[in-house]
Structure 1
Amino acid sequence: MEKFTSVSGYAAPIPINNVNTDMITPKNVLKAVTKKGLVPFFFQEYRFNPDGSENPDFVLNKEPWRNAKIIVSLENWGCGSSREHSPWAMKDFGIRSVIAISFADIHYSNCFKNGILPVALKPDEVDRVMKSAEAGEIVTVDLEALAVTLEDGTRFAFEVEDFRRDALLSGLDEVGQTLEHEDQIAAFEAKQRQVTPWLYDRRPLD
């Protein structure tokens, strides 16, 4: 998993409540089995017209937000289906952080597992970030400092659980975090083999 320390860039304003995972990636993306090549599916029904041409009215097709690294939205971002393809497509497009008032629980966890930082701020703070995003100003999300900073220096603090923060800063998913304790796991298994050897007896039963 790619490490996350901080990201600075354009923030695409999507001032909508309840942006669900079917909006982020439609159900046909579920056929994909890799995390790459998903950019065409990212907000597919909003970025593209039925004939495949770009919808010029959608924010991610406009300058400078077609190069956005951050999204700013409102309440309950990522609700609906639990599909992990949504953060896969977000990451493939280049999104490294989403700032919103609140997040759906499963999507929130899936973002962390894929190197994306979801940041929950208060409604008035999100409103201020949204205005900055709409003006095409640079927004910085700093995981080390636990702060969102705007171009004019306005700074908003946010919270992240320690284990999630450490995982992103280290670039470790759950498997990687587990393997950091490989020596302790091996020692436990060696001791368990002595205490309960029958658990490791692979001889066929009579």
Structure 2
Amino acid sequence: MAKPLTVTGVAAPLPINNLDTDQIMPKQFLLGIDKAGLARGLLYDLRFDPAGRAREQFVLNREAYRDAKILIGGSNFGCGSSREHAVWGLQQAGFEAVIAPSYGEIFYFNAANNRLLLVVLPPAQIEALVHEIEQGGSKQLAIDIEGQYVESPSGVRYAFELPARQKQMLVEGLDMVGMTLKDAAAIDAFEQRHWAANPWCRIDLPAQQAHWAALSEPAMPQP
């Protein structure tokens, strides 16, 4: 396993319960054919007024949080539709981790598959972190992925659980394809056993193509 990985940076508190993916990434930013340009749409209706002017009091528009890498959310963060753009937008805006009491299920797995770290902490610990960040001088948090704890500005550590597969993807920098390829030998062995036990399942593609081509040829007129 690679060296311990830590996410360290400014944490922006946004303790809004039931913040859904439609709010995280509004529909008007889903029109592209690729992932580009989604940072602009992140939390757009909270960051900007109807005229497109920045809401000065919104946390991500305040100078102290402009370069935040960690977002502290409320319960059921990322509920709503299954749009993966919500995860991509957070990452494009520079966020490497979210801390919240709970998450929408689809958002949780979308984040895991894209290696966006989601930390689950009890509401009381979330409140303590938010209070310390808002009232204290430093707004920096450190999240030790291998040690599985969040360290507050004052040095208080909060432990969290992390599924083994997600932890491996984060620490080793693997995506879903990379994780699958780690089992390539086992997959090959299964295929060998499967075809040996079920040879009748194998399709001879060239023979099938020739068969259907012959059937599609017009019949020759009888003399």
**Are the aligned partners of 2:133 and 2:153 in contact in 1 as well (CA < 8 Å)?**
no
What TM-score do the two structures reach when normalised by structure 2? 0.84
Q: How many angstroms does 1:73 deviate by?
A: 1.7
Partner of 2:93: 93
**Are the aligned partners of 1:24 and 1:43 in contact in 2 as well (CA < 8 Å)?**
yes
Give the match's secondary structure for 2:63.
coil
> Alpha carbon RMSD of aligned pairs, Å?
1.9
Q: 1:33 to 1:132 in 2, by over 3 A?
A: farther
CA distance in 2, matches of 1:88, 1:33: 13
Equivalent residue in structure 2 for 1:170, among 155, 169, 172: 172
Partner of 1:193: 195
Q: How many angstroms does 1:92 deviate by?
A: 0.4
**Are the aligned partners of 2:16 and 2:74 in contact in 1 as well (CA < 8 Å)?**
yes
Alignment deviations for residues 42-66 of structure 1 (CA, whole Å, 9 cap, x no partner): 0111112223232212111111211
Give the match's secondary structure for 1:80.
coil
Partner of 1:63: 63
The structure, 1 or 2, with the larger RCO (C-alpha pairs under 8 Å, 6+ apart) is: 1
What TM-score do the two structures reach when normalised by structure 1? 0.91
CA distance in 1, matches of 2:32, 2:173: 24
Partner of 1:52: 52
Partner of 1:35: 35
Q: Which runs of 5+ in 2 are unaligned?
A: 213-223
1:156 maps to 2:150: no
Alignment deviations for residues 179-205 of structure 1 (CA, whole Å, 9 cap, x no partner): 111122223223433333333322326
Give the match's secondary structure for 1:60.
helix
**Are the aligned partners of 1:4 and 1:171 in contact in 2 as well (CA < 8 Å)?**
no
1:11 maps to 2:11: yes
Q: How many angstroms does 1:4 deviate by?
A: 9.0
Partner of 1:21: 21
Query: What is the count of residue pairs matched by the alignment?
Result: 204
CA distance in 1, matches of 2:103, 2:145: 18
Amino acid of the residue matched to residue 187 of structure 1? Answer: A
Alignment deviations for residues 139-188 of structure 1 (CA, whole Å, 9 cap, x no partner): 11111110000111111000011112112211222221111111222232
Q: Which has the larger radius of gyration?
A: 2
Partner of 1:102: 102
CA distance in 2, matches of 1:124, 1:188: 48
Amino acid of the residue matched to residue 57 of structure 1? Answer: Q
Percent identity, aligned pairs only, is 38
28-37 or 6-15, which deviates more: 28-37
CA distance in 2, matches of 1:78, 1:199: 43
Partner of 1:140: 142
CA distance in 2, matches of 1:159, 1:186: 33
